[in-house]
Amino acid sequence: MFKKITVFVCLFIWGVNSAVYAQDLRALARVDNDNSTIADLSYREMQVELELSQPIPYRIFTLTKPNRIVFDFKEIDWAGFSSEKTLKTEKVKSLRFGAYQAGWSRMVIELTEPMILDEVEMRTDPDQGNARMVAKFKLSNQDEFNTRSGIREEAGWDLPKPIDVITPKQRQVGDAPLVVVLDPGHGGIDSGARSGGKLEKDLVLQFARELKESLILTGRYKAHMTRDKDEFVSLPARITRARAVGADLFISLHADALKSGWATGTTVYSLSDEASDEASKDLAENQNRADLLAGVDLTQQSDAVATTLMELASVETQSRSDLLADMVVSGVAQSIGRLRKRPHLQAGFTVLKAPDIPSILVELGFMSNERDLINLQNQEWRTKVIEGIILALDTWSVEDAAQGQLLRQ
Ligand SMILES: [Zn+2]
pLDDT in tens, 60-101: 888 888 899 988 887 788 888 988 999 999 999 989 887 766
Contact 187, 253 (CB under 8 A): no
* 108, 250: one domain: no
**Identity of the amino acid at 36:** S
pLDDT exceeds cutoff 90 at 173:
no
Separation CA 106–CA 38 (nearest Å): 15
- At a CB cut-off of 8 Å and minimum separation 6, what does 339 contact? 265, 266, 267, 329, 332, 333
11 CA to centre of ligand 1 in angstroms: 30
342 band by pLDDT with thresholds 50, 70 and 90: low
- The CATH number assigned to the domain holding 253 equals 3.40.630.40
- 1-19 as b/e: b if 16+ CB within 10 A: eeeebebeebeebbeebbe
pLDDT exceeds cutoff 80 at 144:
yes
76 CA to centre of ligand 1 in angstroms: 43
Contact 117, 62 (CB under 8 A): yes
Separation CA 353–CA 70 (nearest Å): 31
166 CA to centre of ligand 1 in angstroms: 27
Among 148, 169, 189, the domain boundary falls at 148
190 CA to centre of ligand 1 in angstroms: 9
94 CA to centre of ligand 1 in angstroms: 57
* 123, 31: one domain: yes
* 187, 137: one domain: no
Q: Report residue 360: phi and psi, to 5°.
A: -135, 160
129 CA to centre of ligand 1 in angstroms: 34
148 CA to centre of ligand 1 in angstroms: 47
200 CA to centre of ligand 1 in angstroms: 7
* 124, 241: one domain: no
How many CB atoms are closer than 10 A to CB 133?
Answer: 24
58 burial class (0-12, 13-18, 19+ CB within 10 angstroms)?
buried
pLDDT exceeds cutoff 80 at 353:
no
Indicate whether 243 belongs to any domain.
yes
Q: Minimal CA–CA distance to 73: which of 47, 103, 110?
A: 103
* pLDDT for the residue 408: 64
Separation CA 396–CA 7 (nearest Å): 9
* 277, 385: one domain: yes
349 CA to centre of ligand 1 in angstroms: 11
Strand 221-225 and strand 198-199: pairing? unpaired
388 burial class (0-12, 13-18, 19+ CB within 10 angstroms)?
buried
Q: H/E element holding 205?
A: helix 200-218
* 192, 43: one domain: no
227 band by pLDDT with thresholds 50, 70 and 90: very high
Among 132, 148, 164, the domain boundary falls at 148
Rounded percentage of the chain residues whose pLDDT exceeds 70: 70
* 107, 202: one domain: no
255 CA to centre of ligand 1 in angstroms: 5
* 74, 217: one domain: no
Separation CA 367–CA 370 (nearest Å): 7
- The CATH number assigned to the domain holding 113 equals 2.60.40.3500
Q: Lowest-pLDDT range, 236-240, 281-285, 384-388?
A: 281-285
Indicate whether 160 belongs to any domain.
no
Among 148, 166, 192, the domain boundary falls at 148
**Which pTM does this prediction carry?**
0.55
For 87-142, write each residue's pLDDT tens digit: 999 999 989 887 766 567 788 899 999 999 888 887 877 777 788 889 999 999 99
Indicate whether 35 belongs to any domain.
yes
pLDDT exceeds cutoff 80 at 159:
no
CA distances from 122 to 76, 134, 139, 164 (A): 15, 6, 22, 13
287 CA to centre of ligand 1 in angstroms: 6
**Which has more confidence, 166 or 384?**
384
Indicate whether 157 belongs to any domain.
no
Average pLDDT over residues 6-14: 23
298 CA to centre of ligand 1 in angstroms: 18
- At a CB cut-off of 8 Å and minimum separation 6, what does 372 contact? 255, 264, 265, 364, 365, 366
Contact 381, 375 (CB under 8 A): yes
**Which has more confidence, 234 or 255?**
255
Q: How far is CA 189 from the centre of its chain?
A: 28
199 CA to centre of ligand 1 in angstroms: 10
211 band by pLDDT with thresholds 50, 70 and 90: very high
Q: Which long-range contacts (CB under 8 A, 24 or more apart) does 232-235 make?
A: 232/187, 232/188, 232/189, 232/190, 232/294, 233/187, 233/188, 234/291, 234/294, 234/296, 235/287, 235/288, 235/290, 235/291, 235/296, 235/298, 235/350, 235/351
**Which has more confidence, 319 or 9?**
319
Average pLDDT over residues 151-167: 39
Average pLDDT over residues 213-228: 95
256 CA to centre of ligand 1 in angstroms: 4
Q: Lowest-pLDDT range, 146-150, 168-172, 236-240, 395-399?
A: 168-172
Indicate whether 27 belongs to any domain.
yes
248 CA to centre of ligand 1 in angstroms: 22
- At a CB cut-off of 8 Å and minimum separation 6, what does 87 contact? 37, 38, 95
360 CA to centre of ligand 1 in angstroms: 13
* pLDDT for the residue 216: 96
Indicate whether 51 belongs to any domain.
yes
End-to-end CA distance of the chain: 37
* 211, 139: one domain: no
260 CA to centre of ligand 1 in angstroms: 15
* 117, 208: one domain: no
231 CA to centre of ligand 1 in angstroms: 14
* 80, 121: one domain: yes
Contact 390, 396 (CB under 8 A): no
**Identity of the amino acid at 272:** S
Structural domain for 60, as ranges: 3-148
354 band by pLDDT with thresholds 50, 70 and 90: low
Q: Lowest-pLDDT range, 169-173, 234-238, 240-244, 342-346?
A: 342-346
193 CA to centre of ligand 1 in angstroms: 6
Q: Lowest-pLDDT range, 2-16, 87-101, 174-188, 225-239?
A: 2-16
Indicate whether 155 belongs to any domain.
no
91 CA to centre of ligand 1 in angstroms: 57
Indicate whether 161 belongs to any domain.
no
If one counts the domains in the chain, the total is: 2
286 CA to centre of ligand 1 in angstroms: 8
194 CA to centre of ligand 1 in angstroms: 10
290 CA to centre of ligand 1 in angstroms: 9
* pLDDT for the residue 340: 59
Q: H/E element holding 293?
A: helix 278-293
* 248, 371: one domain: yes
